[in-house]
Structure 1
Amino acid sequence: MRIGVLEDDMVQQGLYKLWFATAGYSCACYGTAEAFERALGQENFDLLIIDWMLPDSTGEVVLQRVRERRGWEVAVIFITSRESETDIVNALRSGADDYLVKPPKYQELLARIESLSRRIKPPALLQIGPYEINQTSHQIRLRGEEVELTNREFGLACYMFQNPGKLLSRAHLLEKLWGLNANVDTRTIDTHVSRIRRKLQIMPTNGWEIIPVYGFGYRIEKVNAAAH
């Protein structure tokens, strides 16, 4: 598991690095919101730990940006000295998955991380209608027949199938698949969507439809194949 930590206290950073290394987790720590958000565009994290009080922002603002850019695929734990019921409720309603008051306890933190990882980790094999998605081998089968896809086509198809009904902007998909600072034209997304629609035969007769939203992006929706 790869953990990203936003914490400006260097002593606490050192503790996290020691604890997570002992538990067999990979960890990267950042002292400012700016550095943390920049890293999110360049690295993939399975779980994020965010402090509330930061030198250049607040944890609540950072959390909102995380949810806007990464959706709900990454788990977030708030660890902060703020302990009022209002603060806890606000953090959870803003999108935090868990909340701990400083100083965190080693065994409790690891137990909460393990609990979250069991809940959010997608299964290696997903069956979505006639599509079988193998996230280990990066293969998609349509009614048992493997469909040849590039890595980015697989990533796009997998991400869209895991976010049915959500309106996904071209900018969001670019950040997700190419990285925050990628110098790629947004029309590249249109090309890749067209390819996966054709290769995977994403159409109502197979139970799914990709709906373009003019000037914004795409939404994939489950439809009643029997009606078509």
Structure 2
Amino acid sequence: MSILLVEGDPGQASAFEKALRGSNREISVACDSARAVQFLRKKVVELVVLDWRIPDASGLNLLHWIRANLGDAPVVLFLAARTLEADIAAALDAGADEYIGKPFREIELMARINALLRRSGRNKKADNRVEVGAYVVNPLMRTITLHGKNIDLTAKEFSLASCLFNNLGNVVSRDSLSTLAWGRTLDGTSRSLDTHIYRLRQKLALRPENGFQLSAVYTHGYRLDMVDDFSTAENFVVRGQVARGAMTEGAASALL
């Protein structure tokens, strides 16, 4: 039984480990999201415990990465001082399985964790695939197919695509996407995210004829939408004018 605690405060991390002392569970601690992502890429855990505030990101961003890359497993528990109803709802809507406020009571924390893991064991799915239209996203195999044909993607491209398909119709922020793929937020002048999104459009053929449209939301991020017919393409306006003919990757990314 393995648990990963993502907590930037050594005192809080120590209190958590003390609460679970004697539970026969292996507890690992990551002090920021970059180390957490690195750990989760290498090792399978049953439970991730997140604080809302992590030194290099937010717990919500890390949760998005987990769900986009690891599917419904592992179980995710928020253990945070923020207990406003809106914060709890945001975490649960993003895929958290439980939310406990700080300060916590040791007996209650252990009971909640035991209940979570029992429930997870009963409901664990053999396949966490997402099937939308002609696309199938398989987080276990880290593959995406279109009309049954596998599409060759890099690790970063898969992370970005999986997140967008799992948040269909919703705007995913640039910070969230960069944290998913790079394990950190990118500098505001970087075009790396835009270039990767451009390549995804081409590789996945995210066009109205395949039922999808991937749009940039100015200053915010990107949104993947399902479209009903070709008429959507006629209403899609790209900011700026581009001469007809071939377009270089750099010029395309500059329009995003």
TM bucket normalised to smaller = 0.5 to 0.7
Give 3-state SS (helix, strand or coil) of 2:20's partner.
Answer: helix
Identical counterparts, % of pairs? 22
Task: Give the structure 1 partner of residue 77 of structure 2.
Answer: 76
Runs of at least 5 residues in structure 1 that lack an aligned partner in the other structure: 51-58, 81-86
Task: Give the structure 1 partner of residue 228 of structure 2.
Answer: 224
Does residue 199 (structure 1) correspond to residue 192 (structure 2)? The answer is no
| Correspondence 1:69-148 to 2 at 5 A | 70-71=63-64, 73=67, 75-78=76-79, 92-93=88-89, 95=91, 97-99=98-100, 101-104=104-107, 106=110, 108-115=112-119, 123-148=127-152
TM-score by length of 2: 0.61
Task: Give the structure 2 partner of residue 66 of structure 1.
Answer: 59
Cα offsets for 1:32-58 (capped at 9, x unmatched) = xxx4566457554875436xxxxxxxx
| Correspondence 1:37-76 to 2 at 5 A | 39-40=35-36, 43-44=39-40, 47-49=47-49, 65-67=58-60, 70-71=63-64, 73=67, 75-76=76-77
> What letter matches 2:199 in structure 1?
R
Runs of at least 5 residues in structure 2 that lack an aligned partner in the other structure: 68-74, 93-97, 233-256
Dislocated runs of 4+, deviation >6 Å: 117-122, 181-185
> What letter matches 2:28 in structure 1?
A
Cα offsets for 1:133-154 (capped at 9, x unmatched) = 2222222111011111122212
RMSD, aligned CA: 4.0
- Give, in angstroms, the shift of residue 109 of structure 1: 2.2
d(CA) in 1 for partners of 2:126, 2:187 = 30
- Give, in angstroms, the shift of residue 167 of structure 1: 1.6
> What letter matches 1:4 in structure 2?
L
> What letter matches 2:88 in structure 1?
L
What is the aligned residue count? 206
> What letter matches 2:59 in structure 1?
V
Task: Give the structure 1 partner of residue 250 of structure 2.
Answer: none
d(CA) in 2 for partners of 1:185, 1:122 = 42
- Give, in angstroms, the shift of residue 216 of structure 1: 3.4
8 Å Cα contact 2:213-2:225 kept in structure 1: yes
Does residue 150 (structure 1) correspond to residue 146 (structure 2)? The answer is no
d(CA) in 2 for partners of 1:27, 1:182 = 30
Query: Structure 1 98/172 Cα, relative in aligned 2: closer, same or farther at 3 Å?
Result: closer
